Structure 1
Amino acid sequence: MSEPETLPKPRRRLPYWRLAAAAVIVLAGLAGGGALYAHSVIADIATTLPATPNIATLPVSTAVVDRTGQLLRPFTTAGGRWRLPVATAEVDRHFIEMLLAYEDRHFEQHGGIEWSSMFRAAGQYLGAGGHIVSGGSTLTMQVARLIEGEPTRNLGGKIRQMVHADALEHQLTKDQILTLYLTLAPYGGNIEGIRAASLAYFGKEPTRLTTAESALLVALPQSPEARRPDRDPAAARAGRDLVLDRMVAEGVISAEEAQGAKREPVPTARRDFPMFAAHMAQSAVEAQPNARKIDLTVDRRLQSVLERLGTARATALGPKVSVAIVVADQASGDILASVGSAGLFSQESDGYVDMTEAVRSPGSTLKPLIYGLAFELGLAHPESLIEDRPTAFGAYVPVNFDGFNRGTVTIRQALTESLNIPAIIVLDAVGTSRLVSRMKRAYANPLLPDDTAPGLAIGLGGVGVTLRDLVSIYAAIGRGGTPVHLQDGVKAPVAEAGEAAPVLDPTAAWYVSNILAGVPPPLNGSPGRIAYKTGTSYGYRDAWAIGYDGKTVVGVWVGRPDGAPVPGISGITAAAPILFEAFDRLATRTTPLRAAPPGVLFASNSELPLPLRRFRHPDDDKVARDAAPEIAFPADGVDVDLGIASGADLPLIIKIRNGAPPFTFFANGAPVGRSAFSRQNSWKPDGPGYVTLSVVDSEGRSDAVKVFLD
């Protein structure tokens, strides 16, 4: 139920001055005070009543909830109390029935004061020589007492409570009064309100309560400290059973139902409040300190199972080892789970540190993006050959992880086996600045030592990134090269002006995904299920595994938050098994990877165009990082079979390497397409024959080829 920002108009009934005066006469006049005394007391009370609370702004605990509204983590109020926002519609109706039957049978009919009860209380007051025996309080009067925060076991307090209750009835609806009671009622210690009490004593929301649970929650506010289940279970049971007997007498429940409820055990300890996505929830509250409720993109079920998974796997790896996991939806960028550590309160593994946002070395996890750039620039194909031999780049001499060289390998093999030397050769060709630029296009924030220019070492982990950065990069690759902002509900994504620049073109992204789908899985994984890559940073400090299917991307980090080495740790042995287990715990089955886009060249090495059969380094004559554009396909003078004669009428895919986008494409001098970022264009000719294809880049540089189409 959403509460109005302004209070409703008063209902038309007897003015509260007259009702209050009558109340005072009942309690005071019968004792000899008289009407003049009544009016004097009323006047004094009316000027000192506190402002009627607005439920929409009543101070409550901040509730951080998941994407479906389920509670992830509540925080205490400024006064250290657990007082969670609640609406009557969110409370079990059976509990409401029992509460009204026990506390205030005529709640819907009276105007704040139950006169029959007040006359009974007045008679008891006189018979007891001026001592209040029973208060005769309605729910509205109890709300008045809760707002005042003062006891009412004296005549003056009871009169003030009656005057205040009448004022509340004029200013609030019955539902609002009931909501205030459900929010403010004391349940022992620093627990206030039905929702906090249900979570503290039963570990669940009050939406569905058993008869026994409802009875206990009705009984506790009467003597919240004396009946606290965590301190005196016997007193709590006695209070609960008293309510159950009363409910039988009132006809609310049957005797059989009451007997069954009495057999239920009474809780003997307070439960911990939910604390899912603890790091993210803390960040959310720091960003919105005055919010009553904060909605995150997290899925509580998935978050819960992945937190247990991370804790279990970290425990097996050692007391100082932590695990971080991020799961995101590729389409929206919503973070569905964010496990910041192996346990928030773990002192040995520094559980308070959110390792999803800690800057670490990515190891080999940037290699897919390096090769993707080579595919996009027309420098390579997955089946292109490349040399894995000792190579020096000035003073920098990369070596493979295992220290061995394979000789001549395909790009596919080099990425599948995560060979270091071929990756650096390719990085030297595509350019470190281009790699960093594409990382930023994916909304990652790579950090270099002292803002130095990027060197070749970044290809093997010589750059600082976070787990979220890597998940964002791999999400873009899984989406066909289109970037997406990761969103968690804490910070609004930065608005982009116009079309976002792609991280890779669709063909290059597909090539990368196709290779990563063939990476051998760990012992607990199935081959071909996801596209994934592992990485291990220098000195065995960080183990990574990032993977995706056609819908979801998951990132895993394993290591020590203090940056100390973990001997023997690696991405394939420590992080990859967790990655595959995380996919096992998703609510949906694995979604197939994206289908091949137009322009993908399915060919063995021998079937590739000659320039693509072997990777060409910038030291070769024709390729340079800042060279003019060159039509990589089709090659000059070739025949291209488009099936025109047979009626297949296939489009011609024109591919460009080098040059600066955007590119304008021409056929026989007539423009046939323009691409803002892509390095290829699809064109369907009118018929067979010779055609001159040309391309012009943003700097006016051009290239042309003549081919025969049939």
Structure 2
Amino acid sequence: MYKGKGFQKYAKPFVLKSIFISILVLLYVFCLPKKLFTKPTSTVIVSEKNELLGALIADDGQWRFPHENKVPEKFKTCVVQFEDAYFYKHPGFNPISIFKAVSQNIEAGKVQRGGSTITQQVIRLSRNNQSRTYFEKIIEIILATRLEIRHSKDEILAFWTSNAPFGGNVVGLNAASWRYFNRKATELSWAEAATLAVLPNAPNLIYPGKNKQQLLRKRNRLLKKLLLEKKIDSLTYQLSILEKIPDKPYPLPQIAPHLLQKVNQQKKGQFVQTTIDKNLQQQANDIVQQHYNQLSKNGIHNLAVLVLNVKTRKVLAYVGNSPTSKKNQKDVDVIDKPRSTGSILKPFLYAAMLDNGELLPNALVADVPTNFGSYHPENFDKTYAGAVSAKLALSKSLNVPTVSMLQQFGLEKFHHYLQQLQLKDIKKSANHYGLTLALGGAESNLWDLSKTYASMASTINHYSENSSRYFTNEFCEPTFYAEKKVDFGTKTSQKTIFDAASCYLTFESLKEVNRPDAEENWDFFDSSKQIAWKTGTSFGFRDAWAIGATKDFVVGVWVGNADGEGRPGLVGVQTAAPILFDVFDKLPNSAWFEKPFDEMTEVEICTKSGFRATQICEEKKSIFIQNSGLKTAPCPFHVLVNLDVSEQYQVNTSCESFANIKQKSWFVLPPLMAYYYKEKNPFYKSLPDFRKDCISDENNAMKFLYPSEKTTIFLPKDFEGKTNELILKVAHSNKNATLFWYLNSTFLGTTNELHQMAIVPKVGLHTISVTDNFGSEIRQTIIIK
């Protein structure tokens, strides 16, 4: 009983001591915050080669770059020699330095020297520079020893380097290096590294631009110490002390400011390596500057350029806007903003029709005045060719053939293709856009359009490089983050959206577009680059586009005003295309795309019509078409006609013996197409007339040129108040026909050869009827207002 009480008597203090010690140990273990520094940092972007492109100041107004794990060797040597020569030997504090500091402070009667190690300074920085008291110093020592246990010496030095003050609102070595020497810290000379090493000792007293002589003396003393410690040789020392102290801070580079803002929205306060090629970015900036100087004279203030690598889908250059004024919205990033597309979607319709087996590149399509209900599209130059090949309609960006092709293909079907392409600004139904969908009735943005051209180019590349296989995620998003690798998906035998042949034939057509400044024979020069490119101009001259693709690169250009103001001359080929080719001139040459033979078939086509040749096509040639093109109709424009021996007249057995009838193939266009076609094709031959002694079963076709279908017409008055005449026009397949004109059953007169009739009808509803001398009749209803 006595022994038990004695044991309890001595055990109780032991337990209390153990608990107390355990609490102290726990407090020591957890005394250091998990994250030492929580202040906001600058968003910093660098190029693919780690060259600084730009930075945004931190939210607290400091230039504080994100934490860097590595400290450049020169600066490491300088700062250790200046701040803490025994840094790599002490456990977080230096007793000798503390003893000297206390002695000097007691002798002076005030705090003159801190005796802090770099580790203690890191703790002090993390605690927001608490007031200097002995109690605070004890806390710093405790936390410093804990920091030494948690981190290596180099990690501790990296904390100090990233968070030490360097004068003004500059925090951290990397920000200081750029602000004071306009270069990254790894490129500093010994003199520059020494200059920065002495700044944190008194950052508010001396820094570039303030007390230069004091700064110079401190730097040189450190260089002298480096010489004595044999860290540098005498020659390096002599050259270093000759270097000047910088006069004032440099502005940080702003090479890709709009990309910086975009990155800041996604990765604020981080150090981000982008995919940007700094040299190309600067060249693109210079090109934009040059063109902006000219365009701004015409009140055109904004433009954007995007360059993509087709094979990696990485962004190589990103110019979000021109260097215009704040008034003209220079800070708006136009690249991802929806704008009216103009003609820039036409290649997608062309590719879709090829892919669907509803078109051949050489096939003739109608280019004649046409009304689609109340919609009356016109070509840019207000002229018509009658009939043009589909690929020429694309390369010349003709509006009327495009709308005819869209109506033939189907509005809903084309809209579905655009949805598959993930053009995110085309949000509404097909009926909302109507047939204007291919002419600028919809909106899209430079990012989505450029990525689609890149995906089409990549489809051809991948098909050729992977044994005629596609990738499931071919039409993917590009990236401007260096660490992100674009995932093209897995290989498949099935196309993603467009097959390789349709993409190839589309680019073949776009390659034939004439370059600006009437360089119509540019493709004959050896130094030229083969580029598939397309321009677009929106209604009202508000947006000008140019996008070009090669095997390796896509360049997209938009020009206009951010506020939507239209300007005369704001046309794609005049304003955007020159920028496009200036940028391509800075890119390496690319070989042309390989022909995807496994997706193509060699067939004979009719030379004149471009359709698959029939037996009666007199001129044929062999070309490779997409496999789906085998579904297209044979040539509809060649007919067999019976001629007399002289081939001047059509005949039949009513007027000529069978033995004297010569049968011949003849290229015949419908009358409206023929009317315009022969104006630009003088070698086009209309069908010969029937010989007068023959009983003709000829179908004499005629059609209104103007007005076409039911339409409303406004007749203006001249300066004398007289109402202008309305000119009626009709095309007839028989040049010898006589036409009889009527307005509301009232006879107006007759015409021969040139069938035009001038009338001045009253306001209201009228019926125009025309009868030829063969008994055929056409009618048209018009409304006069």
For residue 32 of structure 2, what is the amino acid of its counterpart?
A: A
- CA–CA distance in 2 between the matches of 1:236 and 1:340? 41
Does residue 478 of structure 2 align to residue 521 of structure 1? Answer: no
| 1:534 counterpart letter in structure 2 | T
Partner of 2:597: 597
1:34 corresponds in structure 2 to none
Q: Is residue 342 from structure 1 mapped to residue 336 from structure 2 by the alignment?
A: no
Match of 2:458 in 1: 479
Mapping for residues 2-21 of structure 1, pairs under 5 Å? none
Matching residue of 2:418:
439
- 2:567 aligned counterpart, secondary structure: coil
Task: Quote the offset at 1:136 in angstroms.
Answer: 2.6
TM-score where L is the length of structure 2:
0.67
Question: Aligned partner of 1:570: which letter?
Answer: V
C-alpha separation in 1, matches of 2:377 and 2:74: 71
Contact 1:220 1:239 (C-alpha < 8 Å) held by counterparts: no
Instruction: Give the alignment of 1:388-537 within 5 angstroms.
Output: 388-447=367-426, 452-480=431-459, 483-488=474-479, 502-523=496-517, 527=523, 528-537=529-538
Deviation string, structure 1 residues 127-173 (Cα, Å, up to 9, x no partner):
32x33333332211222221222366554444443333233223322
1:708 alignment partner in structure 2: none
What is the match of residue 83 of structure 1? 64
Q: Distance in 1 between matches of 2:631 and 2:48?
A: 44
- The 1:542–1:561 alpha-carbon spacing in structure 2 relative to 1, beyond 3 Å, is same
What pairs with 1:63-462 in structure 2 (closer than 5 Å)?
A: 63-89=44-70, 91-128=71-108, 130-150=109-129, 154-289=133-268, 292-318=270-296, 320-343=300-323, 346-447=325-426, 452-462=431-441
Q: Structure 1's 324 and 116: CA in aligned 2 closer, same or farther, altered over 3 A?
A: same
- 2:32 — aligned with what? 51
C-alpha offsets along residues 412-441 of structure 1, whole Å, 9 cap, x if unaligned?
Answer: 322222222111111111122222222222
Distance in 2, matches of 1:97 and 1:232, equals 25
Distance 2:590 2:216 in 1: 50
Whole-angstrom distance in 2 between the partners of 1:651 and 1:540: 36
Post-superposition shift, 1:471?
0.9
Cα gap change, 1:494 to 1:652, in 2 (>3 Å): closer
> Mean alpha-carbon deviation: is it higher for 209-218 or for 502-511?
502-511
Amino acid aligned to 2:353: A
Is 2:566 the counterpart of 1:558? Answer: no
Write the letter of the residue equivalent to 1:544.
Answer: W
Q: Which one has a larger percent strand, Structure 1 or Structure 2?
A: 2
Q: Compared with structure 1, are the counterparts of its residues 658 and 443 closer, same or farther at alpha carbon in structure 2 (3 Å cutoff)?
A: farther
Shift of 1:564: 0.1
Query: How many angstroms does 1:268 deviate by?
Result: 2.1
1:651–1:293 distance in 2 versus 1, CA, 3 Å = closer
Rounded Cα–Cα distance in structure 2 between residues aligned with 1:96 and 1:118: 23
1:102–1:247 contact (8 Å) kept in structure 2: no
SS in 1 for 2:558: strand
Counterpart residue identity of residue 155, structure 2: Q
Aligned CA RMSD, in angstroms, stands at: 3.9
SS at match of 2:533: strand
Paired residue for 2:750?
none
Residue in structure 2 matched with residue 548 of structure 1 by the alignment: 549
Counterpart amino acid of 1:342? S
Change (3 A) 1:420 1:280: same
Letter in 2 for 1:445: K
Distance 1:50 1:487, change over 3 A: farther
Distance 2:235 2:518 in 1: 52
* Cα 1:301/1:86, change in 2 over 3 Å: farther
Residue 50 of structure 1, CA deviation: 6.3
Question: C-alpha distance in 2, partners of 1:48/1:367?
Answer: 68
Give 3-state SS (helix, strand or coil) of 1:455's partner: helix
Rounded to whole Å, the distance in 2 between the matches of 1:375 and 1:268 is: 65
Tell me, in whole angstroms, the C-alpha distance in 2 between the residues paired with 1:577 and 1:401.
19
| Unmatched segments (≥5 aa) in structure 2 | 1-23, 461-469, 524-528, 616-620, 634-785
The answer to whether the 8 A contact 1:378-1:655 is kept is yes
> Does the residue aligned with 1:415 lie in a helix, a strand or coil?
helix
2:749 maps to what in 1?
none
The 3-state SS of whatever aligns with 1:325 is: strand
What is the CA-CA distance between 1:217 and the residue it aligns to?
A: 0.6
Q: Report the equivalent of 2:695.
A: none
Cα distance in 1 for partners of 2:368, 2:626 equals 37
| Amino acid corresponding to residue 229 of structure 1 in structure 2 | P
Residues 612 and 632 in structure 2, CA contact (< 8 A), matched pair in contact too = no
Rounded Cα–Cα distance in structure 1 between residues aligned with 2:504 and 2:346:
15
The aligned residue for residue 582 of structure 1 is 583
- 1:84 and 1:463 mapped to 2: Cα distance? 43
Structure 1 residues 258 and 498, CA, compared in 2 at 3 Å: closer, same or farther? closer
What are the Cα deviations for residues 433-488 of structure 1, in whole angstroms up to 9, with x where unaligned? 22222222222124367884331112211111111121122223323477421233
Cα distance in 2, alignment partners of residues 655 and 522 from structure 1: 33
Verify the 8 A CA contact 2:362 2:391 in the aligned structure 1: yes
CA contact (8 A) 1:436 1:446 kept: no
Per the alignment, do residues 275 and 382 of structure 1 end up closer, same or farther by CA in structure 2, a change over 3 Å counting? Answer: same
Q: Distance in 1 between matches of 2:69 and 2:274?
A: 24
Contact 1:125 1:132 in 2 (8 A): yes
- Tell me, what secondary structure is at the counterpart of 2:184? coil
Task: Describe the superposition over 1:90-130 as per-residue Cα deviations: whole angstroms up to 9, x where unpaired.
Answer: x32112111111221211111122233233323323432x3
8 A Cα contact 1:442 1:476, kept in partner: no
Deviation at 1:181, TM superposition (A): 0.6
Shift of 1:178: 0.7
Q: So what's the TM-score if we normalise by structure 1? A: 0.74
Partner-residue secondary structure (3-state), 2:283: helix
SS in 2 for 1:306: helix
Over 3 Å counting, the alpha-carbon distance change for 1:107 and 1:329 in structure 2 is same
CA distance in 2, matches of 1:330, 1:164: 53
Which aligned pairs between 1:533-682 and structure 2 lie closer than 5 A?
A: 533-586=534-587, 588-600=588-600, 606-607=606-607, 611-612=611-612, 655-657=629-631
Matched residue SS, 1:437: helix
How many residue pairs were aligned?
A: 586
Q: Is the 8 A contact 1:380 1:612 kept in 2?
A: no
**Counterparts in 2 of 1:423 and 1:147: CA distance versus 1, 3 Å:** same
Relative to 1, partners in 2 of residues 1:654 and 1:459: Cα closer, same or farther, differing over 3 Å?
closer
Distance 1:260 1:220 in 2: 21
Distance 1:581 1:234, change over 3 A: farther
